[in-house]
Amino acid sequence: MLYHLLYPLHGSVGVFNVFRYITVRSVGGAVTAFLLMLLLGPWFIRKLKAHQIGQVVRDDGPETHLAKKGVPTMGGVLIIAVISCSTLLWARLDNPLVWLLLFVLTFFGCIGAIDDIKKIKKKSSDGLSARGKLFLQIFGASVVGLFVLLHPGYDGLLSIPFLKDIQPDLSWFYIIFAVLVIVGSSNAVNLTDGLDGLAAGPTVITASVYLIFAYLAGHAVLADYLQIPFVLGAGELSIFCGAMVGACLGFLWFNAYPAQIFMGDVGSLALGGALGGVAIIIKQEILLAIVGGIFVMEVISVILQVGYFKLSHGKRIFLMAPFHHHFEKKGWAEPKIVVRFWIVSIILGLVAIATLKLR
């Protein structure tokens, strides 16, 4: 919005010329989201407590989690509001890709909110049925897949990191691929969100890497030089990613151990869906498996655990899945597990950036 209000005045007020730069507006989006989260966080936590919107903790989890019963949850409502406000303030509103991403964030957030509210009302950790959640996620992701395929200038080509000359054309199957990426990413962040700060940290790192890639993908000269797909208008998604970085850093201020608030499914499904949406829209889908490697490892640990449990009639590979619970069972302190997962996430983010030159 600021771009439309102030940039046209740069003739008479020279400093307003800065609003033409995506870099400036991305930093603006990140700082605004961070400050909004810091400002509104304490108020929102008080509101959640006043309305008794507290976490229901399963009794079959790690014993240490029983003490977390009643921690205010659904902090994702504030995360979504802050990302949306900051994006609308700093991004160009005539860019359909921005609105598409805001749709994904909000739609997946609504799915999570239904799940959270059902859990809180039933005082049970069973919320929305898995089938119902999956159906709604597939519908939301299909909208993105269809938009991308039908949007002028897009195609079904799949770009693969490290391999610049191989770009398989998935054609209409790209919609199925897009659904797998977005739904997979949404559920992966959801599974990861099981320790204080464990989901927000890697989300900050993943969104930071995609901020860079969105800027490059939307820059015709740089995209050509780096031999990555050029996506007209993708640069504006840097502002959305900046807002995600700022909002999640601000959320971490309160969600760091010992957490004063959890994001809830409303937050984890929204953030995961948005990361998957960015990956699809800027045509950097496989990259998500690299920079979002922590999320991938968490999902794989569950698949291996459940699969082996069934095949071996009750044996386990890990002491408990997802992966982070395994280390809890080994006696690692929660903050140590979280910071070590952040460290791995940062390394994976650096590797993802390195793929720009290793091709």
Which residues of the shown chain bind ligand 57M in the complex (CB under 6 A)? Answer: 55, 57-58, 60-61, 65, 68, 73, 190-191, 193-196, 255, 259, 262-265, 268, 302, 305-306, 316, 320-322, 325
User: How far apart are alpha carbons 210 and 215 in whole angstroms?
Assistant: 8
CB of 84 to ligand 57M, least distance (A): 19
Nearer to ligand 57M, 151 or 316 (CB): 316
CB of 27 to ligand 57M, least distance (A): 27
CB of 210 to ligand 57M, least distance (A): 21
Nearer to ligand 57M, 168 or 307 (CB): 307
Position with the least CB separation from ligand 57M = 61
**3-class SS at 182?**
helix
Contacts 24+ apart (CB under 8 A), 354-358: 355/161, 355/162, 355/287, 355/290, 356/216, 356/226, 356/228, 357/226, 358/161, 358/162
Nearer to ligand 57M, 193 or 285 (CB): 193
DSSP one-letter code for 76: H
CB of 250 to ligand 57M, least distance (A): 15
User: How far apart are alpha carbons 289 and 297 in whole angstroms?
Assistant: 9
Nearer to ligand 57M, 29 or 76 (CB): 76
CB of 28 to ligand 57M, least distance (A): 28
Compute, in degrees rounded to 10, the torsion defined by CA atoms 61, 290, 175, 166: -150
Candidates 260, 228, 215, 203; CA nearest to 73 is 260
Nearer to ligand 57M, 33 or 48 (CB): 48
